[in-house]
Structure 1
Amino acid sequence: MTQAIQTREIQYTAADGSSLIGYFAAPENSQAVAGVIVAPEWWGRNEYTEQRARELADHGYAALAIDMYGDKRVTTDAKQAYEWMMQTFGDAETIDTRSKAALATLAAQPEVDTTRLAAIGFCYGGKVVLDLARSGADLKAVATFHATLSPKAPAQVGAVKAEILVLHGELDTMVSLDDVASFKDEMFAAQAEHDVIVFEDAKHGFSNPLADERAKANDVDLGYNAEAEQHSLAAMYALLARHLD
């Protein structure tokens, strides 16, 4: 599927005063379409996140690759990424306020149908969109790739409006299968619609073709898996089609 798309950067401000810069991609047409937030890995809003936004636009969605660190800061250094990520954990409301500002910014774009919103996230960004869903955000669907699954606060009954799809690697040493089991328990207790797919022989970062390079440079346990990437993206697009099309 290939169609003409448009892209632009959008500057927005969160309730905590941070100046954030998103990357927006949408089909070139006048009809409002469903909108999807794309939350980045801990590296920041980099080319990989923007690529995923363009792919969503190519599939007929409007997508906003969001900035969680401010001023679209990015890095390829794991220590710097960890520092920036932990800064957003320092105040319990930071992730909440910045993700909600991004969702409001997406919904405010004229290309977006505000009744059809979803969110996807990778690694750290997976936690961002899961916590957004847990907070009761008006989302139809949420998909995560090799995400951090632990909640800021467990989801409550009736709070989660989205169907949640978790895409996880069997060999992920950063998020264990016990963590996956705990997530399932949380979702069942909250009566939230959810599904988990575990990919054999897949490590943390399996969806990113640069994972092996980043692993070697930073001595961290990441690994790209083309088959898991392909199947996880297909599952995500099937989820979006069910709820947004």
Structure 2
Amino acid sequence: MTHTFLRRAGLAFGTTLLSAAPLAAQTAAGNQPDYAAAMHREHMNDTPTASAGAKIAPRMPVTGESVVYATVDGKKIRGYLAKPTNFKTGPAVVMVHEWWGLNDNMKAMADRYAGEGYAVLAVDLFGGQVATTPSDAMKLYQAGMANVPAGEKNVATAVQYLRSHGATSVGTVGYCFGGHWSLRTALAAGQGVNATVIYYGAPITDATQIAKLRSPVLGIFGGKDTGIPLDSVRAMEAQIKKAGKPVTIEVYANANHAFANPTGQAYDKVAAEDAFKKTNAFFKANLK
């Protein structure tokens, strides 16, 4: 499989409505890309069916259950907690869903990570809603970005929940929308997070935000992803390095956006499995 490594990256989000114009023209205030519209373009022919990645069984027996892990703005937030059978204490992972929401495919991916030995809390940033069309997913994406402080409280509390339920260390991982929020979780939780993995999420390039980072970062992107410009990924990496944190950005040259998602039709088996192995190795090296 052909892939290349890039070093230098950053983060921002737009929330304007869909446009058929190229990404360079899809800008919100401050000339930042409208990622919601860009993701709609990437997924416009997708349906929320399970990808091959969501059908891979965990390597060891796991148990899963719905749990209330946070209360935000007076509302109880439910997520999906998957653990190896008889898990008592050990490393844990906060997983953030892609733009379809916390659907069964995302829960299956949480099971797979649990099968590697982690307690995995798949959080919910869409208030229990899941999308069945790309247009609905874009609306949920935009709603999820409309109140960033509430989202940050959601994910930071998820980290606290895991630490109060036996986690000796906590990593974060997310796909697409969740890739962005994997990094935001690390920024919101500070020293509560020990390792962060971003799967083709919208980069954060603001130095003030990146200065809050306390964990090493692994970023995974597709070279043919037209929704996440690689120059913004390089800008993000540059800010992370400037902040003095270890960062590795891997770009799979022939992979499209969403190539490892548990939902949709973009799944690339070779790239996705290599990325999963690297993610697992990264977690094993940083989560004790």
**TM over 0.5, yes or no?**
yes
Say yes or no: does 1:16 pair with 2:73: yes
Distance 2:118 2:66 in 1: 17
Q: Please, which runs of 5 or more residues in structure 2 have no aligned partner? A: 1-57
Q: Determine helix, strand or coil for the equivalent of 2:148.
A: coil
Q: TM-score, normalised by structure 2?
A: 0.74
Residue aligning to 1:140: 194
Q: Please, which runs of 5 or more residues in structure 1 have no aligned partner? A: 213-222
- Which residue identity is paired with 1:3? M
User: Would the aligned equivalents of 1:13 and 1:20 in 2 still touch at CA under 8 Å?
Assistant: yes
Decide which of 201, 216, 225 is 1:163's aligned counterpart: 216
User: Would the aligned equivalents of 1:154 and 1:186 in 2 still touch at CA under 8 Å?
Assistant: no
Q: Determine helix, strand or coil for the equivalent of 1:69.
A: coil
Q: TM-score, normalised by structure 1?
A: 0.87
Residues 93, 67 of structure 1: CA spacing in aligned structure 2 closer, same or farther, 3 A cutoff? same
Distance 1:105 1:206 in 2: 30
Distance 1:41 1:209 in 2: 9
Residue aligning to 1:49: 106
Residue aligning to 1:240: 283
Say yes or no: does 1:127 pair with 2:180: yes
Report the aligned-residue RMSD. 1.9
Residues 210, 99 of structure 1: CA spacing in aligned structure 2 closer, same or farther, 3 A cutoff? closer
User: Would the aligned equivalents of 1:69 and 1:88 in 2 still touch at CA under 8 Å?
Assistant: yes
How many equivalent residue pairs? 230
Q: Determine helix, strand or coil for the equivalent of 1:64.
A: strand
| Percentage of matched positions with identical amino acids | 24
User: Would the aligned equivalents of 1:35 and 1:118 in 2 still touch at CA under 8 Å?
Assistant: yes
Residue aligning to 2:32: none
Distance 2:157 2:191 in 1: 11
User: Would the aligned equivalents of 1:155 and 1:190 in 2 still touch at CA under 8 Å?
Assistant: no
User: Would the aligned equivalents of 2:64 and 2:81 in 1 still touch at CA under 8 Å?
Assistant: yes
- Which residue identity is paired with 2:281? A
Deviation at 1:21, TM superposition (A): 1.3
Residue aligning to 1:174: 227
Residue aligning to 1:207: 260
User: Would the aligned equivalents of 2:62 and 2:82 in 1 still touch at CA under 8 Å?
Assistant: yes
Q: Determine helix, strand or coil for the equivalent of 1:196.
A: strand
User: Would the aligned equivalents of 2:226 and 2:257 in 1 still touch at CA under 8 Å?
Assistant: yes
User: Would the aligned equivalents of 1:127 and 1:151 in 2 still touch at CA under 8 Å?
Assistant: no
Residue aligning to 1:90: 146
Deviation at 1:163, TM superposition (A): 1.0
User: Would the aligned equivalents of 1:15 and 1:101 in 2 still touch at CA under 8 Å?
Assistant: no
Residues 209, 96 of structure 1: CA spacing in aligned structure 2 closer, same or farther, 3 A cutoff? closer
Residues 30, 173 of structure 1: CA spacing in aligned structure 2 closer, same or farther, 3 A cutoff? closer
Residue aligning to 1:220: none
The higher relative CO (CA closer than 8 Å, separation ≥ 6) is in: 2
Distance 1:167 1:120 in 2: 11
Deviation at 1:17, TM superposition (A): 2.5
Deviation at 1:152, TM superposition (A): 7.1
